[in-house]
Amino acid sequence: MANEEKTTGFRPLTPEPTLRRLPWYLAYVSLLRSRGVEFVSSTTISKEINVDSSQIAKDLSVLSIKGKTRIGYEVEALEMAIKDFLGFTSSHRAVMMGVGSLGMALIADRGLQRFGLDVVAGFDTDPSIIGLTIKGVPVFGISELKKRREAYNADIGILAVPVEQAQSAADLLVDAGVHALWNFTPFRISVKPGIVIENTSIYANLAVMYSRLSALDQGK
Amino acid sequence: MANEEKTTGFRPLTPEPTLRRLPWYLAYVSLLRSRGVEFVSSTTISKEINVDSSQIAKDLSVLSIKGKTRIGYEVEALEMAIKDFLGFTSSHRAVMMGVGSLGMALIADRGLQRFGLDVVAGFDTDPSIIGLTIKGVPVFGISELKKRREAYNADIGILAVPVEQAQSAADLLVDAGVHALWNFTPFRISVKPGIVIENTSIYANLAVMYSRLSALDQGK
């Protein structure tokens, strides 16, 4: 459970599986904090979440805090350390491409802000949407993308356009200067090297769920 | 590119990686259809999407249609076959647990319906939300969950509650008779065997994106 002192300010690249598990620990630790629990060990976390306790200890070793023998981690400090490490306490600015059903929902969802993402503006081609303000977030026409993105200094572009426009919208965002694309379409966009792409295809997960449900029905 | 004739109506369990790739092909094929393209080969799909063409041919072999040598697949037939196979053309009924910011956004997002998911009712504990109708979907109190779920014959429960309530809301849904849980919280819920769980943690993806962005900044 010990954690090596970092001897340099340069943070090594964290393995992606660790980055995907840390939010699970964070969710559990937040629950414990809300219940007033003060300390937690990787063994306790392991019992709640289906992950091996040595794996948990290894994952938590990337953080700047240490657990204490027999007592474990201080819950509040651990929660804050994970949040910090994952970038959830920093403010990242993003522009939303496509303010249709999903884009509007994502702007309206205050959840993103709790995880450090500030959607500063939306962009759309639909004249009936341009000019609207959704929960304080203005919607502009696509022609204003480059100028507005620069003014807001937004690093992240969120893709919530129809699938047919995914690639062209991605190109516009990259051209406007974003360094990362959060792609909510199921389209596999391609961009020049050095641009980060994170795919979150909500609907693709449905196929896996349907298939398992249907296997369940067949098994009866 | 040939596809074995299925000799039985009992569909074998499709490997999850195939189920996760098929929506990518679907997205591209839908794009081709909207452009009026009539035929497509796995080689062409491979060039657009970063997947090996033999892998694509293998994935598409689970479908009931065959490609033709040199011509490939008929675009419209392929689009429909993938949609059918993934369950996007069937109607699956779901109840929404938690009609806060995310739950309301998911109900309002018509995208789910296009992928075969019909959210028939929402459930919440907040008296200011109970009684509302969101895009035609009524919101009830939790006490009505069991009765209403049965009446709607909804097989799927969507979890969009705060993380502290994830496990107890999951228990209520299973008790009310759903067979699958679509978990939008980052909490790793545990349920009895035979219940399908699909995790879609939107926010967890943010951590990976932030980390890659920060690595990018350090590399400059």
pLDDT at residue A4 is higher than 90: no
Mean pLDDT score across all residues of chain B: 89
Mean per-residue pLDDT for B37-42?
Answer: 95
Chain B residue at shortest CA distance from A33:
B164
Q: Which residues are B119's β-sheet partners?
A: B94
Output the six-digit token pair for B32: 């081709």
Mutate to test the interface with B, among A156, A181, A208 (most CBs of B within 10 A): A208
Q: What is the pLDDT of residue A118?
A: 94
Mutate to test the interface with B, among A206, A213, A217, A220 (most CBs of B within 10 A): A206
Give the span between the Cα atoms of B194 and B207, in whole angstroms: 31
Residues from chain A that touch B115, judged by Cβ atoms under 8 A, are: 203, 206
CA-closest candidate to residue B58, choices B28, B13, B15, B26: B15
Mutate to test the interface with A, among B156, B209, B214, B220 (most CBs of A within 10 A): B209
Asked if this assembly's ipTM is beyond 0.90, the reply is no
Tell me the angle at which helices B75-86 and B16-34 cross, rounded to the nearest 10 degrees: 140
CA-closest candidate to residue A13, choices B185, B61, B191, B216: B216
**CB-CB under 8 Å, B208 with A198:** yes
Q: Measured between CB atoms, which of B87, B156, B214 is closest to A207?
A: B87
pLDDT at residue A8 is higher than 50: no
Tell me the angle at which helices A145-152 and A166-176 cross, rounded to the nearest 10 degrees: 50
Mean per-residue pLDDT for B22-50?
Answer: 92
Give the span between the Cα atoms of A156 and A95, in whole angstroms: 6
Quick check: A46 and A53 in contact, CB under 8 A? yes
Give the span between the Cα atoms of A198 and B186, in whole angstroms: 17
The lowest-confidence range among A35-39, A153-157, A190-194, B63-67 is: B63-67
Q: What is the pLDDT of residue B3?
A: 37
Q: How far is A69 from chain B (nearest CA, A)?
A: 26
Residues from chain A that touch B164, judged by Cβ atoms under 8 A, are: 30-31, 34
Give the span between the Cα atoms of A65 and A6, in whole angstroms: 11
| Pairing mode of beta strands B137-141, B133-134 | antiparallel
**CB-CB under 8 Å, B116 with A24:** no
| Pairing mode of beta strands A133-134, A117-124 | unpaired
Mean per-residue pLDDT for B53-72?
Answer: 90
Give the span between the Cα atoms of B196 and B183, in whole angstroms: 10
pLDDT at residue B11 is higher than 90: no
Chain A residue at shortest CA distance from B83:
A207
Give the span between the Cα atoms of A58 and A40, in whole angstroms: 15
**CB-CB under 8 Å, A111 with B31:** no
Residues from chain A that touch B105, judged by Cβ atoms under 8 A, are: 105-106, 108-109
Tens digits of per-residue pLDDT, B190-216?
999 999 999 988 888 899 999 999 888
- How many Cβ contacts (< 8 angstroms) between chains A and B? 206
Tens digits of per-residue pLDDT, B170-185?
999 999 999 999 999 9
Residues from chain B that touch A163, judged by Cβ atoms under 8 A, are: 27, 30-31
CA-closest candidate to residue B94, choices A162, A108, A205: A205
CB atoms within 10 A of CB A61: 15
Residues from chain A that touch B32, judged by Cβ atoms under 8 A, are: none
**CB-CB under 8 Å, B110 with A108:** no
CB atoms within 10 A of CB A194: 10
**CB-CB under 8 Å, A186 with B23:** yes
CB atoms within 10 A of CB B42: 23
- Long-range CB pairs of A14-20 (<8 Å, 24+ gap) are A14/A62, A14/B211, A16/B208, A18/A59, A18/A62, A19/A86, A19/B207, A19/B208, A19/B211, A20/B204, A20/B207, A20/B208
Query: Residue B209: how many CA atoms within 13 Å on its side-chain side?
Result: 28
CA-closest candidate to residue A200, choices A121, A106, A113, A82: A106
Residues from chain A that touch B212, judged by Cβ atoms under 8 A, are: 180, 196, 198
Of residues B141 and B112, the one with the higher pLDDT is B141
Mean per-residue pLDDT for A121-129?
Answer: 97
Residue A206: CB partners within 8 Å, gap ≥ 6? B86, B87, B88, B112, B115, B116, B117, B182, B198
Give the span between the Cα atoms of A29 and A37, in whole angstroms: 9
Residues from chain B that touch A62, judged by Cβ atoms under 8 A, are: none
Tens digits of per-residue pLDDT, A58-75?
999 999 888 888 889 999
Residue A133: CB partners within 8 Å, gap ≥ 6? A139
Chain B residue at shortest CA distance from A106:
B105
Q: Measured between CB atoms, which of A20, A30, A208 is closest to B163?
A: A30
Give the span between the Cα atoms of A154 and A169, in whole angstroms: 16
pLDDT at residue B133 is higher than 70: yes
pLDDT band, very low/low/confident/very high, at B69 (cuts 50, 70, 90) = confident
Of residues B201 and B94, the one with the higher pLDDT is B94
pLDDT at residue B145 is higher than 90: yes
Tens digits of per-residue pLDDT, A174-219?
999 999 999 999 889 999 999 999 998 888 889 999 999 988 877 6
Q: Measured between CB atoms, which of B19, B163, B190 is closest to A208?
A: B19
Quick check: A202 and A176 in contact, CB under 8 A? no
Output the six-digit token pair for A219: 């098994």
Chain A residue at shortest CA distance from B102:
A109
User: Which DSSP string corresponds to B19-63?
Assistant: HHHHHHHHHHHHHHHHTT--EE-HHHHHHHSSS-HHHHHHHHTTS
Q: What is the pLDDT of residue A209?
A: 93
**CB-CB under 8 Å, A20 with B204:** yes
Residues from chain A that touch B104, judged by Cβ atoms under 8 A, are: 108
Phi and psi (nearest 5°) for B115? Answer: -110, 25
Give the span between the Cα atoms of A56 and A103, in whole angstroms: 35
The lowest-confidence range among A77-86, A143-152, B114-123, B203-212 is: B203-212
What is the pTM for the complete model shown? 0.83
Residues from chain B that touch A90, judged by Cβ atoms under 8 A, are: 210
pLDDT at residue B79 is higher than 70: yes
Q: What is the pLDDT of residue B5?
A: 34
**CB-CB under 8 Å, A27 with B207:** no
Mean per-residue pLDDT for A13-32?
Answer: 91
Residue A163: CB partners within 8 Å, gap ≥ 6? A185, A186, A187, B27, B30, B31
